[in-house]
Amino acid sequence: MVTIVVDTKEIQADDGKSVLQTCLEHGIFIPNLCFMKSREHPHASCRLCFVEIYGIDQPVTSCTERVREGLVVLTATARARRLQQAAFKLLMSAHHCRPKACPVRGGCQLIRIARHLKVGLNSQPLERLERAIDEEVDLGLFTYYPFRCVLCGRCVHVCRQRTGHNLLTFAGRGLKTVVALFGGGDLAAAPCRHCGACATVCPTGALVLKGEQGRAASADSSLRAPQIPPR
Ligand code: SF4
Ligand code: SF4
Ligand code: FES
């Protein structure tokens, strides 16, 4: 164990654990979407989790920074906030938010991050990016809504971890990037375990299990923690 300080709070933390996970476990929320504690090498693709660390010139992503003795972390400085807000607005410029039609209205991570950062769910003043992709894709067991997808990779990772196969993958490039079934087709014809983990870890309601299985899987809240900020 080592001692670190986060926003004036002294914390006993596990040496080598990520700063983000340590903060979340101690009730200190830092915006994040792509982080999963089971990911040994974080993707750091959402760029939401910036913090400042005493002695380091530039803000760093807290999911890639490791805890060590004497670390002093600041999670809400003006510079860190600006970067968190800029990353969120960029993300929302490609995410078409329709809260009334969203299946995870109450639990959507984007709404909670927007509240935390005190920014709206639209991307202003950034231009809204038009993406030439389908509104809705039938994957057999699931419905996938590309415009809600923030390409965090959580579904791809959890599926690979559970099955040992690359059933889910990213397809397309640039603004056309979407989650797809490896090799095309639908999940009913793939070696899918129907475990529902991919939909459960999705922070935005982009991947929704159909019917009863959807409701059963969404009850598995252990997969979601510790993402949720305190209200
Ligand atoms: S239901 Fe389970 S096995 Fe099937 S795609 Fe999702 S995570 Fe993978
Ligand atoms: S479907 Fe959900 S979990 Fe998968 S990449 Fe998109 S937002 Fe992330
Ligand atoms: S959680 Fe750190 S970059 Fe996404």
Q: How do the domains of the chain map onto residue ranges?
A: 2-89, 132-226
**How far is the C-alpha of 226 from the C-alpha of 48, rounded, in Å?**
15
Ligand nearest, relative to CA of residue 24: 3
Is there a contact between 205 and 148 (Cβ–Cβ < 8 Å)?
yes
Question: 2-89: which CATH topology?
Answer: Ubiquitin-like (UB roll) (3.10.20)
**Out of 1-15, 122-136, 190-204, 207-221, least confident range:** 207-221
In DSSP notation, 168-185 reads: EEEES-GGG-EEEETTSS
* Mean pLDDT across 158-187: 84
- Span 176-195, average pLDDT: 78
- Structure confidence at residue 60 (pLDDT): 97
In angstroms, the CA 1 to CA 120 distance is: 39
Q: How far is the CA of 151 from the centre of ligand 1 (A)?
A: 17
Q: Which residues contact 166 (CB under 8 A, 6 or more apart)?
A: 156, 160, 182
**Residues sharing a CB contact under 8 Å with residue 126, sequence separation 6 or more, in sequence order:** 89, 90, 92, 93
- Residue 204 is predicted with a pLDDT of 87
| Predicted local confidence at residue 228, as pLDDT | 43
From residue 64, give the alpha-carbon distance in Å to each of 54, 126, 191, 217, 221. Answer: 16, 27, 33, 30, 25
pLDDT of residue 215: 44
DSSP SS3 for 9: strand
Calculate how far, in angstroms, residue 130's C-alpha sits from the geometric centre of ligand 1: 29
158 lines ligand 2 (CB under 6 A): no
**pLDDT at residue 120, rounded to an integer:** 81
- pLDDT score of 63 more than 70: yes
N-term to C-term CA, the chain: 29
153 vs 144: CA distance, rounded Å: 14
**CA pair distance 207, 42, nearest whole angstrom:** 21
Confidence (pLDDT) at 224: 52
CB atoms within 10 A of CB 63: 26
Q: Can you tell me whether residue 120 is helix, strand or coil?
A: coil
**H or E element: which one contains 85?**
helix 78-94
Band (10; pLDDT cuts 50, 70, 90): very high
Which of 3.10.20.30, 3.90.1530.10, 3.40.190.10, 3.30.70.20 is the CATH number of 132-226?
3.30.70.20
CB atoms near residue 5 (< 10 Å)? 14
Which atom of ligand 1 has the smallest separation from the CA of 193? 3
Find the residues whose C-beta lies inside 6 A of ligand 1.
158-159, 162-163, 167-168, 187, 192-198
Query: What per-residue confidence (pLDDT) applies to 219?
Result: 41
Q: Lowest-pLDDT range, 59-63, 67-71, 79-83, 102-106?
A: 102-106
pLDDT for res 214: 45
Mean pLDDT of 3-11: 96
Residue 118's Cβ-count burial label (10 Å; 0-12, 13-18, 19+) is exposed
Ligand 3 pocket test: pick from 18, 49, 152 the residue with the most ligand atoms within 8 Å of its Cβ.
49
For residue 3, the model assigns a pLDDT of 97
* Rounded distance from Cα 102 to ligand 2 centre (Å): 14
Decide: 167 in ligand 2 pocket, CB within 6 A.
no
Q: What percent of the chain has pLDDT over 90?
A: 41
| pLDDT tens column, 84-140 | 999 999 888 877 777 677 766 566 788 889 999 998 877 666 667 677 777 788 888
